[in-house]
Amino acid sequence: MHYLYPCFPVFAAPYRHPAPSPPVHADILTASAKEAAGMLEDARLLLARLSASKELARRILTAAQSSDTAAVKRLIKQTGIKTDFDVTYNPDGIRVSLVREQSRFIIALRWSA
DSSP 53-95: -HHHHHHHHHHHHTT-HHHHHHHHHTTT--SEEEEEEETTEEE
Classify residue 10: in a domain, yes or no. no
Classify residue 68: in a domain, yes or no. yes
Classify residue 38: in a domain, yes or no. yes
For position 8, what pLDDT does the model report?
63
> How far is Cα 9 from Cα 47, in angstroms, rounded to an integer?
66
Classify residue 35: in a domain, yes or no. yes
How many domains are contained in the chain? 1
Classify residue 3: in a domain, yes or no. no
Closest CA to 49 of 109, 100, 113: 109
Full domain range(s) for residue 87: 30-110
Classify residue 6: in a domain, yes or no. no
For position 1, what pLDDT does the model report?
61
With contact defined as beta carbons under 8 Å apart, do 107 and 96 qualify? yes
- For the stretch 80-89, pLDDT in tens is 999 999 999 9
Classify residue 14: in a domain, yes or no. no
- For the stretch 11-58, pLDDT in tens is 666 777 788 888 888 898 899 999 899 899 999 999 999 999 999 999
- For the stretch 63-72, pLDDT in tens is 999 999 999 9
Classify residue 24: in a domain, yes or no. no
Query: How do beta strands 104-110 and 93-99 pair?
Result: antiparallel
